Amino acid sequence: MLNISIMMRISEIKPFVLVLGLLMPTLWGNALGTVSNDGFSHITIHGTTVQDDPRNNSILAYINGHSLTVTFTENLGDVQVEITTASGGAVSYGHVWTPNSYIAYIPNTGSYVVTITLPNGDEYYGEFDVTD
């Protein structure tokens, strides 16, 4: 009886935690952007290889100083995120279960590309600069 009650409460809290998890990186990034003037800017996401309905509206990305945040607003599955220099040098590579956010620290200034690959092979990218 107690286990059922606990499970019911967890299922009631789960949507709240999910929404909070999605909003916190955005709110935190916006708060940092207002406190410091170090380059908060939106990154436009473009589709390169898109087989299904375009999902670039479900992918939000921004750079704030040396911190890159990519937020997925809907369930796109296990998404691969790769960050390279503009000339193709590897910087960061990882996976994120969506909906969620991927946050990466870019240590050096320069021009970069973030590439997002969905489980079905659809690929999206955004170009951005890191400045001091």
Per-residue pLDDT, 37: 42
Per-residue pLDDT, 84: 98
| Cα 107 from Cα 130, distance rounded (Å) | 9
pLDDT tens digit string along 7-58? Answer: 556 566 666 555 556 555 555 554 444 334 455 899 999 998 888 788 889 9
Both tokens of residue 79? 């998404």
Both tokens of residue 56? 């670039």
Per-residue pLDDT, 132: 77
- Contact between residue 47 and residue 56 where contact means Cβ atoms under 8 Å apart: yes
Per-residue pLDDT, 33: 40
**Any residues with CB less than 8 A from the CB of 104 and at least 6 apart, and which?**
67, 68, 81, 83, 91, 92, 94
Average pLDDT over every residue of 82-87: 97
pLDDT tens digit string along 93-113? Answer: 999 999 999 999 999 999 999
Residue 110 β-bridge partners: 130
Per-residue pLDDT, 40: 80
Average pLDDT over every residue of 55-82: 95
Question: Quick one: which of 115, 106, 131 has its CA closest to 41?
Answer: 131
Taking every pair of Cα atoms in the chain, the longest distance, rounded to a whole number of angstroms, is: 60
